[in-house]
């Protein structure tokens, strides 16, 4: 049963190729009517003709919309646009600059307020001071907090609603009360609304407290005495640079400073009318608690979208509890993000869905996460999608933890061949692919780059407690230009908690840059256990290409770890009760400050790694030392040579030898006579990492 959708159609038509429907909502409602009347008894396909379809409201799908495929017609590229084009600009001069203004009566009446503006296919920055952007060009354009109350309270969860700016950084501007301070520290960004400046004391107070302490990072653990960075967003007095804009919510007047060559006649400007495009939600027995029988569940089945573009959606600041329950923080996070922007939902959202998803779609110019598979999603897919210019992250998935209903568990997902880039533009801690509690899920052949935080994050339980995360495969992804110096404590691939059967294999990860500490390649964080890390190529990282915070019984083998500035492999917290990882048949290549690095608790030599049969090399043949600097006030520096390391029983079979590697643009290859082969190293071809042609997708 095939029906048709066209911008020139009518929702009262039959839906045939000659009498197509006009809107996505109309197609949904007509299909519901046809099914209810018995005229459709099986799957249906809606072919969508070329053109632009305006979305002024989120389109909701439910169980009665199952077994429906919304797909682009042959050679068509249909666009579902959540924005409204703005016309009627007035051109004038203000403060020596050309300025366009537009009066929007809906805004003045309080019926419309948007936080995003898109000009000629790009996201225009709101007026801010300084001119921060989450990329190498603008990452250092920030203020630094001048003073905080109770500076002796360095517990990272000690939030505050007040700080003192440095002299002349913040003034009593007329629009200050409608602005927001965006604080960048630790591994999160925090958006503080409604600032109030006391002109007598110089203290700046906000309507909400921060979730974390106002230091840059852990103090004294990492001896970071710097206070946090921040910028002031949405400030009319900061409207000074071409391309910036400001919306006065009280007067309804929109201001825009054009870039060179832009005129009202040749410039297309869109403001979003919605935050999410699609919301597909099945029901499961927990919803009504009317039955304890899981067989009463009514999921959405087979709701799929293919070859469609979704663009122009806004963002909002969700609020919620902190993401780490055991920390017992007594407040909500001010922008709802916390680690990994974990409370920010997807602009396309599935819950209680089976065999549903997106293929070969584009999601662009969005303020939240792009796509989400929430509770009770199974056998869902995201394949071949292009996701870019995103406020938070690319794809997120996760259901219940082990304490929730079994029906809420999420797994058997297939997330492959997606190109995800230029994300974290509003919620800077957004993740390329964020997998909270999922099982039997594959994330492979994705290309992820230009992000302010982590590339792929897997697991959502801190410590050694049982989790639903297991049997997940993170393979053959190309992940690079991650972090960009925006936040700390992040990595190319990041894991949490016990995850038996999980494999991280054959990924190419490079150019990872944190702001302060923690720019790692593969990062096994708190409690990561029973994970296999093999045949990954990881190089050019600020910290170690491979890092463990604390972990148990992992296997790390046949990897190349190269050119980590601070170390080549590290363990932050050594637990003498068990081995963190078996570390064998790897190649470690300098230059670096350390070969192995031990962190804030315990020495790296205290059986943290069962290391052997590894190949070490550094330019000139001189290897860096092993140990740690003085990273804690009560801890003495520790430094030993490789020979001393071997006398302690480590790396007895390991060699210091040139592995004879040829570095290519897509892959690194070993010569046939490489000494690493004699140690048991298994080579891998990383040229196949990243997105594959359609013909080669498995």
Tell me which of 20, 55, 82 is where a domain ends: 82
Residue after which a domain boundary falls, among 249, 271, 293? 271
Q: Can you give the pLDDT at residue 91?
A: 96
**Residue 54 belongs to domain spanning:** 2-82
Instruction: Report which DSSP code applies to 107.
Output: H
pLDDT along the chain (698 residues), means of 10: 97 97 98 96 96 97 97 97 97 93 97 97 97 96 95 84 95 96 94 94 93 82 78 97 97 97 96 98 65 67 98 89 53 69 95 97 98 96 98 96 87 98 97 97 98 97 94 98 96 97 98 95 97 98 97 97 96 91 97 89 84 95 79 64 93 96 95 96 97 92
Residue 340, classed as helix, strand or coil, is helix
Name the residue with tokens 């992820």: 448
The b/e string for 523-542 (b: 16+ C-beta within 10 A; e otherwise) is bbbbbbbebbbbbbbbbbbb
pLDDT for the residue numbered 418: 98
Cα gap 536→683, rounded to integer Å: 10
108 and 177 in a single domain? The answer is yes
Kindly state whether residues 170 and 213 are assigned to the same domain: yes
With respect to residue 217, please indicate whether it lies within any of the assigned structural domains.
Answer: yes
Pair 416, 443: CB distance under 8 Å: yes
The verdict on 104 and 240 lying in the same domain is: yes
Question: In the block, which residue shows the tokens 């001189």?
Answer: 622
CA gap 27, 43 in Å, rounded: 14
187 in the same domain as 143: yes
Please indicate, yes or no, if residue 182 is contained in any of the structural domains. Answer: yes
Tell whether 45 and 173 lie within a shared domain. Answer: no
Measured between alpha carbons, how far is 181 from 191 in angstroms, rounded to an integer?
6
Same domain, 134 and 249: yes
C-alpha–C-alpha distance, residues 122 and 45, integer Å = 33
Domain for residue 233, yes or no? yes
The C-alpha atoms of residue 556 and residue 21 are separated, in whole angstroms, by 55
* pLDDT for residue 218: 79
Q: What's the total number of domains in the chain?
A: 2
631 within 8 A of 223, measured Cβ to Cβ: yes
Please give the Cα distance from 552 to 73 (Å, whole number).
Answer: 51
Q: Which helix (H) or strand (E) holds 435?
A: strand 433-435
**338 in Cβ contact with 188 (< 8 Å):** yes
Residue 29, domain member (yes or no) = yes
Query: Which runs of E-coded beta strand occur in 49-148?
Result: 52-54, 59-61, 68-72, 79-81, 83-85, 90-94, 97-103, 118-119, 122-123, 128-129, 143-147
Q: What share of the chain is helix, strand, coil (3-state, %, to 5)?
A: 10, 40, 55
441: tokens are 């899920």
Task: Judge residue 172's burial from the number of C-beta atoms within 10 Å of its C-beta, 0-12 exposed, 13-18 middle, 19 or more buried.
Answer: exposed
Tell me, yes or no, whether 77 and 111 share the same domain: no
Q: DSSP for 355-404?
A: S-EEES-EEEEESSEEEEE-TT-BS-EEES-EEEEESS-SEEE----TTS
Look up residue 199 and give its two tokens.
């002109």
Is residue 323 within 8 A of residue 342, CB to CB? The reply is yes
Residue found under tokens 């068509």? 76
Residues 35 and 154 in one domain: no
0.85 surpassed by pTM: yes
Do the domain assignments include residue 123?
Answer: yes
Assess if residue 211 is contained within a domain: yes
Side-chain half-sphere CA neighbours of 85 within 13 A: 13
- Bridging pattern class, strands 609-612 and 581-584: parallel
Among 221, 240, 271, where does a domain finish?
A: 271
The answer as to whether 308 is a domain residue is no
Do 158 and 66 share a structural domain?
A: no
Residue 621's pLDDT is 79
Q: Which two tokens stand for residue 280?
A: 């597909």
- Which residue is it, tokens 């016309």? 87
Number of residues written out for the chain = 698
Residue indicated by tokens 């970071």:
224
DSSP character string of 600-634: EES-TTTTTEEEES-EEE-GGGPPPEEEE---STT
pLDDT value, residue 520: 98
Same domain for 179 and 113: yes
Contacting residues for 475 by C-beta, under 8 A, at least 6 apart: 442, 443, 444, 445, 503, 504, 505, 506, 507
Whether residue 673 lies inside any domain: the answer is no
One domain, residues 244 and 114: yes
Q: Which neighbouring-strand residues pair with 628?
A: 638
User: Does residue 24 sit in the same domain as residue 45?
Assistant: yes
DSSP codes, 257-319:
-PPTT--TTT--EEEES-S-SEEEE-B-GGGT-S---GGG-B-EESEEEES-EEE--------
Are the C-beta atoms of 569 and 588 separated by less than 8 Å? yes
Classify burial at 74, counting beta carbons within 10 Å of its beta carbon; exposed 0-12, middle 13-18, buried 19 or more.
Answer: exposed
């Amino acid at each position: 049963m095939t029906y048709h959708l066209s911008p020139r159609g009518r929702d009262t038509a039959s839906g045939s190729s000659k009498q197509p429907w006009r809107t996505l909502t109309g197609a949904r409602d007509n299909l519901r009517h046809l099914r209810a009347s018995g005229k459709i008894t099986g799957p249906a396909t809606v072919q969508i003709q070329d053109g632009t379809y305006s979305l002024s409201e989120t389109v909701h799908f439910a169980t009665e919309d199952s077994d429906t495929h919304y797909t682009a017609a042959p050679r068509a590229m249909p666009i579902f646009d959540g924005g409204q084009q703005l016309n009627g600009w007035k051109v004038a001069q203000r403060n020596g600059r050309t300025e366009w203004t537009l009066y929007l009566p809906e805004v003045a009446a309080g019926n419309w307020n948007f936080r995003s503006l898109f000009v000629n296919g790009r996201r225009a920055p709101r007026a801010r001071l300084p001119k921060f952007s989450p990329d190498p060009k603008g990452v250092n354009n920030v203020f630094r907090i001048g003073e905080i109350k109770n500076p002796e309270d360095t517990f990272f969860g000690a939030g505050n609603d007040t700080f003192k700016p440095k002299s002349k950084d913040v003034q009593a501007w007329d629009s200050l009360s409608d602005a927001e301070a965006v604080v960048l520290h630790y591994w999160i960004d925090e958006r503080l609304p409604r600032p109030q400046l006391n002109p007598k004391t110089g203290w700046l107070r906000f309507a909400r407290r921060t979730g974390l302490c106002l230091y840059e990072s852990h103090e004294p653990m990492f001896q970071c005495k710097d206070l946090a960075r921040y910028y002031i967003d949405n400030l009319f007095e900061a409207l000074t640079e071409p391309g910036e804009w400001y919306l006065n919510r009280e007067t309804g007047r929109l201001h825009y400073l054009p870039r060179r060559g832009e005129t009202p006649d040749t410039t297309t400007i869109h403001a979003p009318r919605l935050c999410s495009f699609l919301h597909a939600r099945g029901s499961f027995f927990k919803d009504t608690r009317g039955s304890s029988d899981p067989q009463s569940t009514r999921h959405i089945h087979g709701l799929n979208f293919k070859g469609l573009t979704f663009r122009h959606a806004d963002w909002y600041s969700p609020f919620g509890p902190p993401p780490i329950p055991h920390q017992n923080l007594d407040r909500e996070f001010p922008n709802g993000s916390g680690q990994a922007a974990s409370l920010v939902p997807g602009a396309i959202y599935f819950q209680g869905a089976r065999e549903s998803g997106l293929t070969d779609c584009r999601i662009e110019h969005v303020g939240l996460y792009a796509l989400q598979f929430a509770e009770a999603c199974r056998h869902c897919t995201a394949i071949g999608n292009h996701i870019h210019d995103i406020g938070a992250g690319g794809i997120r998935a996760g259901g219940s933890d082990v304490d929730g209903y079994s029906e809420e568990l999420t797994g058997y997902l297939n997330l492959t061949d997606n190109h995800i880039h230029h994300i974290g533009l509003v919620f800077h801690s957004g993740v390329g692919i964020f997998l909270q509690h999922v099982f039997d899920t594959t994330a492979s052949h994705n290309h992820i780059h230009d992000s302010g935080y982590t590339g792929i994050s897997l697991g959502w339980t801190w410590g050694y407690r049982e989790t639903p995360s297991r049997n997940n495969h993170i393979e053959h992804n190309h992940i690079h230009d991650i972090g960009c110096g925006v936040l700390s404590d992040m990595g190319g691939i990041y894991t949490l908690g016990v995850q038996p059967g999980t494999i991280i294999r054959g990924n190419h990860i490079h150019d990872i840059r944190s702001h302060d500490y923690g720019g790692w390649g593969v990062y096994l964080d708190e409690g990561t256990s029973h994970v296999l890390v093999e045949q990954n190529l990881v190089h050019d990282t600020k910290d170690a290409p491979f890092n463990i915070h604390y972990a148990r019984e992992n296997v790390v083998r046949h990897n190349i770890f190269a050119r980590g500035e601070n170390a080549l492999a590290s363990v932050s917290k050594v637990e003498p009760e068990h081995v963190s990882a078996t570390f064998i048949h790897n190649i470690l290549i300098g230059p670096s400050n350390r070969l192995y690095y031990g962190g804030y608790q315990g020495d790296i030599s205290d059986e943290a790694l069962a290391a052997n049969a590894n190949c070490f090399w550094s330019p000139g043949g001189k290897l860096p030392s092993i140990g740690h600097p003085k990273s804690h006030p009560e801890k003495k520096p520790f430094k030993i040579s490789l020979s001393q390391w071997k006398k302690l029983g480590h790396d007895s079979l390991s060699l210091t030898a040139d592995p004879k590697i040829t570095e290519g643009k897509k892959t690194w290859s070993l010569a046939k006579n490489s000494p690493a082969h004699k140690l048991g190293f298994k080579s891998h071809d990383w040229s196949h990492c990243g997105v594959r042609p359609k013909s080669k997708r498995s």
